[in-house]
A and B are shown apart, each in its own frame.
Chain A
């Protein structure tokens, strides 16, 4: 049984259908990459998984339970946590408050131990913990957004364009962290326009075009696929 199973998913913006019936599955422990051009519907799919975008047809199952109509906060409690596109940190609140809010739905957890884990993963956040999150650089905000999602102890971590707008050195750092998280057994669904980097570290990958999944295979096979190389890797 896959951890996340999506069948026949459709979603609309007004009268425009953005997703035309998607089938996607993520197994526990996997790192699955979703690549595709701008406007293909990748972010819409993640929004549907997190419950912040209405689903017009199809089913979402998480650990075998139907969550198609579940409220967003219930999904976070069930363990689906998203690092949204553009970081979306709480700018006026301190780094520490952002992290604490990440654990908002966790009752009885030890926040001190979790905070220490985040500071070990991203030492810069420890130095800046009393600063407003809005004063951090783009890369630091991305680290904070990832740490905030990890504070909820996710069973499925959704990452939306974590490398967007970052300098190459920071991109490498973020991807190293993603691999480290996978090593710790976190299940990850990674959406990226940086297709080569994403597919290279992924167990499996999906390629989306205009609201449809057009290819799915192992990450390595997709990197070597001539069609993918031409369309997304610029090779």
Chain B
């Protein structure tokens, strides 16, 4: 009984950590530009796929990961440069641009890489660790550990550095940010780049567990979106809590109810949140400034 519970718990936390990273990426871009970036899942896919192919080309794993993060950040910056200069475009137009971008990135990955499923070796062996009777993959600990480090690093960046505060200031009041001399264009690039990097890291971390192909971004992006909505769009704490909750609900639901409804549970959460708590668990309840 306990072993089963612990097994589901770790499965949920692992998936939840990945959703949290994707959800944080949604929040970063949303805060900076009020755009919901539906290419967020593609960043996860690009991170995993590029690492696989860079490693297959002979690069050591660490170098392959670095290349993958750079490629994905470049894709994020390109998205910002194409989408945001569309002056006077409404947020809805920009969101549709991100949907177009996600299709393009998926198509490019399909053409440039291939349509097969690929996996990566675990970072430190495949032998499960026995914990209270449950078998925990070492990669799970990598996922959880690196996610914790990233969350701490983001907290430090936003609350301890002037640049981080400039990003927060820009998201709160873009006009005032420009008037104190913050280069808003740079803040947008930074947010898209950082968001892409988070996605790429999530993709690298999860690939040894779930494997990857050119289409994995669709589902991971949607689950990350669930996490961001549940936590409250734009809230960092919310994305982390939302991600872990979505992961745990999925894992326990699949384990104790039916694994057929695993995906339906995440999307059921979205509907419930949007109906009854549209600003999420930690979202701002203030109305839009006019």
Residues in A lying within 8 Å of B, measured CB to CB: 50-52, 71-73, 76-77, 81-82, 84, 88-93, 97, 100-102, 104-105, 148-149, 152
Measured CB to CB, the closest approach of chain B to A14, in angstroms, equals 9
Distance A117 CA – B215 CA, assembled complex (angstroms):
58
Distance A101 CA – B175 CA, assembled complex (angstroms):
13
Please judge, given known A-B contacts A100-B162, A101-B162, A104-B162, whether A52 and B179 are in contact too, CB under 8 Å: yes
Measured CB to CB, the closest approach of chain B to A228, in angstroms, equals 30
Could you tell me if B176 and A90 are in contact, using CB atoms closer than 8 angstroms? yes
Binds A, one of B50-58, B166-174, B198-206, B268-276: B166-174
Q: Does B165 contact A (CB under 8 A)?
A: yes
Of A50, A73, A92, A101, which one neighbours B183 at CB under 8 angstroms? A73
9 A-B pairs in the complex with CB atoms less than 8 angstroms apart? A71-B183, A72-B179, A90-B168, A90-B169, A90-B177, A93-B168, A93-B172, A101-B169, A152-B181
Distance A90 CA – B179 CA, assembled complex (angstroms):
12
Interface size class of B (residues with CB under 8 A): 10 to 19
Could you tell me if A73 and B169 are in contact, using CB atoms closer than 8 angstroms? no
Measured CB to CB, the closest approach of chain B to A97, in angstroms, equals 5
Measured CB to CB, the closest approach of chain A to B266, in angstroms, equals 30
Distance A88 CA – B173 CA, assembled complex (angstroms):
7
Give the nearest-CB partner of B174 in chain A. Answer: A52
Of A71, A73, A77, A89, which one neighbours B176 at CB under 8 angstroms? A89
Please judge, given known A-B contacts A90-B172, A91-B172, whether A73 and B182 are in contact too, CB under 8 Å: yes
Give the nearest-CB partner of B176 in chain A. Answer: A88
Could you tell me if A92 and B168 are in contact, using CB atoms closer than 8 angstroms? yes
Could you tell me if B181 and A97 are in contact, using CB atoms closer than 8 angstroms? no
Could you tell me if B173 and A90 are in contact, using CB atoms closer than 8 angstroms? yes
Could you tell me if A93 and B176 are in contact, using CB atoms closer than 8 angstroms? no
Distance A72 CA – B165 CA, assembled complex (angstroms):
19
Distance A93 CA – B182 CA, assembled complex (angstroms):
15
Q: Does B178 contact A (CB under 8 A)?
A: yes
Q: Does B149 contact A (CB under 8 A)?
A: no
Query: Counting chain A CB atoms within 10 Å of each CB, which of B166, B169, B182 scores highest?
Result: B169
User: Which residues does chain A contribute within 8 Å of B177, judged by CB atoms?
Assistant: 90, 101
User: Which residues does chain A contribute within 8 Å of B2, judged by CB atoms?
Assistant: none
Measured CB to CB, the closest approach of chain A to B261, in angstroms, equals 39
Could you tell me if A148 and B178 are in contact, using CB atoms closer than 8 angstroms? no
Of B173, B175, B180, B183, which one neighbours A102 at CB under 8 angstroms? B180
Please judge, given known A-B contacts A92-B172, A93-B172, whether A100 and B165 are in contact too, CB under 8 Å: yes
Give the nearest-CB partner of A75 in chain B. Answer: B181
User: Which residues does chain B contribute within 8 Å of A71, judged by CB atoms?
Assistant: 183
Of A52, A93, A105, A149, which one neighbours B169 at CB under 8 angstroms? A93
Could you tell me if A93 and B165 are in contact, using CB atoms closer than 8 angstroms? yes
Can you name 14 extra interface pairs (CB under 8 A) apart from A52-B179, A90-B176, A91-B172? A50-B178, A76-B179, A77-B181, A84-B176, A89-B176, A93-B165, A93-B169, A93-B172, A97-B169, A100-B162, A101-B180, A104-B162, A104-B182, A152-B180
Measured CB to CB, the closest approach of chain B to A141, in angstroms, equals 11
Could you tell me if A50 and B179 are in contact, using CB atoms closer than 8 angstroms? yes
Q: Which of B164-223 contact A (CB under 8 A)?
A: 165-166, 168-169, 172-173, 175-184
User: Which residues does chain B contribute within 8 Å of A50, judged by CB atoms?
Assistant: 178-179
Nearest 4 pairs between A and B by C-beta? A76-B181, A105-B181, A88-B176, A72-B178
Please judge, given known A-B contacts A52-B175, A84-B176, whether A73 and B168 are in contact too, CB under 8 Å: no
Distance A205 CA – B109 CA, assembled complex (angstroms):
63
Query: Counting chain B CB atoms within 10 Å of each CB, which of A72, A91, A148 scores highest?
Result: A72
Distance A76 CA – B178 CA, assembled complex (angstroms):
9
Query: Counting chain B CB atoms within 10 Å of each CB, which of A73, A89, A91, A149 scores highest?
Result: A73
Distance A90 CA – B158 CA, assembled complex (angstroms):
14
Measured CB to CB, the closest approach of chain B to A61, in angstroms, equals 20
Measured CB to CB, the closest approach of chain A to B25, in angstroms, equals 21
Query: Counting chain B CB atoms within 10 Å of each CB, which of A89, A90, A102 scores highest?
Result: A90
Distance A93 CA – B168 CA, assembled complex (angstroms):
8
Distance A149 CA – B180 CA, assembled complex (angstroms):
7
Please judge, given known A-B contacts A91-B172, A92-B172, A93-B172, whether A81 and B166 are in contact too, CB under 8 Å: no
Could you tell me if B165 and A101 are in contact, using CB atoms closer than 8 angstroms? yes
Measured CB to CB, the closest approach of chain A to B171, in angstroms, equals 9
Give the nearest-CB partner of B87 in chain A. Answer: A54
Measured CB to CB, the closest approach of chain B to A164, in angstroms, equals 16
Measured CB to CB, the closest approach of chain A to B239, in angstroms, equals 17
Could you tell me if B172 and A84 are in contact, using CB atoms closer than 8 angstroms? no
Distance A148 CA – B176 CA, assembled complex (angstroms):
10
